[in-house]
Amino acid sequence: MPDRNSIEKREAEKEKDKVVVLDFGGQYSHLIVRRCRELGVYTELLPYDMPLEELKKGIEREKGKIKGIILSGSPFSVHEPNSPKCSFEILDLNIPILGICYGAQLIAYVNGGVVGEGRKSEFGRTELLFEDSDLFDGLTERGSEGGRINVWMSHGDVIERFDGADIIGYTMNSPVAAFRISISPYRACGVVGQSPTIYGVQFHPEVHHTDKGDKILWNFLYKICGCERNWTIESFVRDKIEEIKSAVGNDGRVICGLSGGIDSSTTALLINKAIDNRLTCIFVDNGLLRKGEKEEVLNTFKNNFKMRMVFVDAKERFLERLWGVKDAEAKRKVIGELFINIFEEEASKLGNVDFLAQGTIYPDRIESAGASSRNASRIKSHHNVGALPEKLGLKLIEPIKDLYKDEVREVAKELGMPPQILNQHPFPGPGLAARVIGEVTEDKLRVCREASHIVEEELKRSGWYDKVWQAFAIVGDDVATGVLGDARSLGRIVTIRVVESREAMTADFVKLPYGVLESMSKRITNEVKGVTWVTYAISSKPPATIEPC
């Protein structure tokens, strides 16, 4: 039986002090959150127009206190009439603040600084000259009054002058690339507010291209905000299990759509740890799975983890519904709607079910424009994000919705996920339908499934599988002339896609050795009936996406 001290410690840890990032729609907003969490501080992303009173309550709270605020970047200019702007009174909340890029420009703009409109834009790596300060502490040798590092810039407007601020950094094109102010001159009701130090940086310390960017963020979190280390994967797992227990209660029952991918598998394991056999996993064979995936999933979760499983063979239903559907977004919606219908059917058979669990992760929500920013554009819908109808009548549990893919893998490892699932490449919710361009047919699925399996086998054989983020084959309607035996023949074109990434928000194609590509090509044309040509995709994200559909 746990002792009283351990119980009190766990109770205290449920409410964590935090730093919040106000999201103005910048492409790196969630990357800021990730970096802060990697540095050990629990961090949340909030909308830029979060009510001031809510922030005040968070700052004054005894537990779960907001210790600092970071203002993110934005695609907008502070001069645009409809640009996102928070309540300027946050500068008087008696709490440390760090403005990044647009956030820094906004602080300068509302405090009388001069923000030039795109006359000296900077994009890419730039040398920053800086003066000694708490923000840049430890970036130079002891006793030095300043230094220089390479930083990542991505901005059009420039802070040209900021009277009343200490200028602690500049570049060739940005005379105010970093600043510090201790008193905010914003007058709320005629009263000048007093505030701890407010910093602004024109560059992006959260991206890996900025030298010692983690150290700059570390200084803000620990030296300036006075945070304590309170976030690890272990603590996330522990807290999430307790959160699920609390949400579901003593009698609640949950169904989870299990696909065999890392996201849904991790979700299932988390919930199983929390409520045991009150979780029922519904595994639907939609005919869009990878080669051998059905057998692997059933063996892993039903036999190894002893989970309650319902298997549904719905291959014919999905293929029938997808017949004649060519548009990528339309295919995703068809698959999502049918999944929901099947969940409804199976839930009704199970009796009293209260919750539906989904393996939604943050990149899903960004691409579906479901993140906190109201300024995001939708790239594509995800069946586990936007297609859940209210008619389902179940409450939603999304325990990993704020994690990136690499963080999900860390959680899965902590939970004891077997290597064959832990180390497998990401797989899209719509399955192979996301890799079949145009109408989904049995023949195209066959080619896509077999060719993708060969791609993975050759990567494993050559030692490249664990070095890349994702690898698969793509099949469309295009055909090309080939020579099979002594006869000319028309056959399908297969495109190989292999990318490297860290969190799936950006990606680049992998420069595989020609020998590996040659082996893939030979095997695909020799072993997959009806294929004459093999090509290699060399587009990065952006402008492309990782999956073609």
Sign of the CA dihedral running 183, 187, 188, 191: positive
Closest CA to 542 of 498, 496, 512, 509: 509
Buried b (16+ CB within 10 A) or exposed e, 261-291: bbbbbbbbbbbbbbbeebbbbbbbbbbbbbe
Kindly list the distances between the CA atom of residue 537 and the CA atoms of 181, 309, 474, 479, 517, in Å, as whole numbers in the listed order. 49, 38, 9, 17, 12
CB 417 within 8 A of CB 529: no
Which helix (DSSP H) or strand (DSSP E) does residue 22 occupy? strand 18-23
| Type of residue at 428 | P
Using alpha carbons, list the distances in angstroms from residue 168 to 14, 249, 293, 369, 437.
38, 53, 56, 37, 52
Catalytic residue among 101, 225, 227, 281: 101
Cis preceding-peptide flag for 548 (omega within 30 of 0): no
Is residue 178 a contact partner of residue 204, using CB atoms and an 8 Å limit?
no
- What count of residues does the chain have? 549
Residue environment code for 80-89, b if the CB has 16+ CB neighbours within 10 A, otherwise e: eeebbbbbbb
Active site residue 382: no
Give the distance, in angstroms, between the CA of residue 283 and the centroid of all CA atoms in the same chain: 25
Residue type, position 195, single letter: S
Answer yes or no: 453 catalytic: no
Out of 30, 155, 204, 382, pick the active-site residue.
204
Q: Which of 30, 36, 155, 206 is catalytic?
A: 206
Catalytic status, residue 101: yes
Q: How far is CA 306 from CA 381, 406, 408, 442, in A?
A: 33, 26, 22, 33
Least Cα distance to 355 among 257, 273, 259, 284 occurs for: 257
- Are the beta carbons of 266 and 403 closer than 8 angstroms? no
CA distances from 135 to 110, 138, 374 (A): 22, 9, 30
Shortest CA distance to 373 belongs to which of 155, 34, 105, 84?
A: 84
DSSP 53-103: HHHHHHHH-SSS-EEEEEE---SS-TTSTT-----GGGGGSSS-EEEETHH
Q: Angle at CA 446, nearest 5°, toward 443 and 447?
A: 90
What is the distance between the terminal CA atoms of the chain, rounded to a whole angstrom? 53
Q: Nearest 5 degrees, angle CA 319-CA 429-CA 505? A: 140
Question: Which residue spans within 85-218 are E strands per DSSP?
Answer: 97-100, 114-116, 122-131, 146-155, 158-161, 166-170, 178-181, 187-188, 191-192, 198-201
Quick one: which of 52, 105, 100, 112 has its CA closest to 83? Answer: 105
| DSSP conformational letter for 372 | S
| Beta pairing class for 178-181 and 166-170 | antiparallel
- Judge contact between 383 and 433, C-beta under 8 A: no
Q: Which residues are catalytic?
A: 101, 204, 206
